[in-house]
Structure 1
Amino acid sequence: MRPYRDPLVLGPLFRDEEDTTPTPTVTPRPAAPAAVPRPAPRPGARSLPPVLDSEVSERPARACSGWWAVFLVLLCAAGAAVLVCHQDLRPTLTPTPAEAWPPAALAGCALLALAAVAGLRRGRAGHAWTLTLFGRYRGTVRRTGLLWSSPFPRRTRVDVRLRHWRSEPLCVADAEGTHLRPVVLVVWRVRDTARALLCVEDHAAYLREQVESSVARVFARLPADSFRLPGEGEARTLRDTEALGDELTRVLAAETRAVGIEVFSARPLHIEYAPEVAAAMQRRQVAAIDARHRDAVLTSVLDAVDDTVRRISDRGLVSMDDYERKALVKDLTVAFYTARGTAADAR
Structure 2
Amino acid sequence: MSTTTSHTPESEGPTEGPARTGRLIQNEATTEIPVHLLFRDEPVPSTTVPLGPAVVGRRQGTGEQPRLRRPAAATTRPVPQVDPALVERPARVLPGAVGVLAGACGLAGCVVVSWWAGELPSLATRALRLPSYAGAGLGPAQWAAYTGAAALGLFGFGGLARGRTGRAWVLDLFGRYRGTVRRTGLMWVNPLLLRRRVDVRLRHWRSEPMPAADGNGVALRVVVLVVWRVRDTARATLGVDDHETYLRECVEAALVRVPVELPGSARGSVGVAGDALTRLVAADAAPVGVEVFSVQPVRVEYAPEVAAAMTRRRIAALDAQQRATVLTSVVDSVEDTVTRLTMRGLVELDDYERKVLVKDLTVAFCSGRGEPAP
Q: Using structure 2 for the length normalisation, give the TM-score.
A: 0.67
1:92–1:151: structure 2 CA closer, same or farther, 3 Å change rule?
closer
Q: Does 1:295 align with 2:324?
A: yes
Give how far 1:319 is off: 1.6
Residue in 2 that maps onto 1:256? 285
How big is each residue's C-alpha offset from its partner over 1:201-236, in whole Å with a ceiling of 9 and x where there is no partner? 1222212211111112112xx654888xxxxxxx43
Q: Does 1:245 align with 2:285?
A: no
1:183–1:73: structure 2 CA closer, same or farther, 3 Å change rule?
same
Structure 2 gaps of 5+ residues are 1-72, 117-129
1:146–1:92: structure 2 CA closer, same or farther, 3 Å change rule?
closer
1:1-347 correspondence runs (5 A)? 46-47=76-77, 49-77=79-107, 84=116, 90=136, 108-219=148-259, 224=262, 235-237=266-268, 240-342=269-371
Secondary structure in 2 aligned to 1:180?
strand
How big is each residue's C-alpha offset from its partner over 1:59-116, in whole Å with a ceiling of 9 and x where there is no partner? 11101211122123334555666775589862699x9xxxx7x986675444333321
- Residue type of the alignment partner of 1:285: R
How big is each residue's C-alpha offset from its partner over 1:242-265, in whole Å with a ceiling of 9 and x where there is no partner? 222222122111111111112222
Partner Cα distance (2:193, 2:285) in 1:
28
Structure 1 gaps of 5+ residues are 1-42, 228-234
Residue in 2 that maps onto 1:27? none
Q: Based on CA coordinates, which of the two structures has the bigger radius of gyration?
A: 2
1:339–1:192: structure 2 CA closer, same or farther, 3 Å change rule?
same
1:44–1:265: structure 2 CA closer, same or farther, 3 Å change rule?
farther
Over the aligned positions, Cα root-mean-square deviation in angstroms equals 3.1
Q: Using structure 1 for the length normalisation, give the TM-score.
A: 0.72
- Residue type of the alignment partner of 1:256: A
1:291–1:197: structure 2 CA closer, same or farther, 3 Å change rule?
same
Give how far 1:331 is off: 2.8
1:105–1:278: structure 2 CA closer, same or farther, 3 Å change rule?
closer
Query: Is the 2:261–2:270 contact (alpha carbons within 8 Å) kept by the matching residues of 1?
Result: no
Query: Is the 2:103–2:155 contact (alpha carbons within 8 Å) kept by the matching residues of 1?
Result: no
1:175–1:92: structure 2 CA closer, same or farther, 3 Å change rule?
closer
Partner Cα distance (1:149, 1:226) in 2:
56
Partner Cα distance (2:346, 2:201) in 1:
82
**Structure having greater relative contact order (Cα 8 Å, sep ≥ 6):** 1
Partner Cα distance (1:77, 1:278) in 2:
71
Secondary structure in 2 aligned to 1:152?
coil
1:194–1:283: structure 2 CA closer, same or farther, 3 Å change rule?
same
Partner Cα distance (2:231, 2:351) in 1:
80
Give how far 1:341 is off: 2.8
Secondary structure in 1 aligned to 2:286?
helix
Residue in 2 that maps onto 1:5? none
Partner Cα distance (2:262, 2:270) in 1:
11
Give how far 1:324 is off: 2.7
Deviates more, 1:67-76 or 1:253-262: 67-76
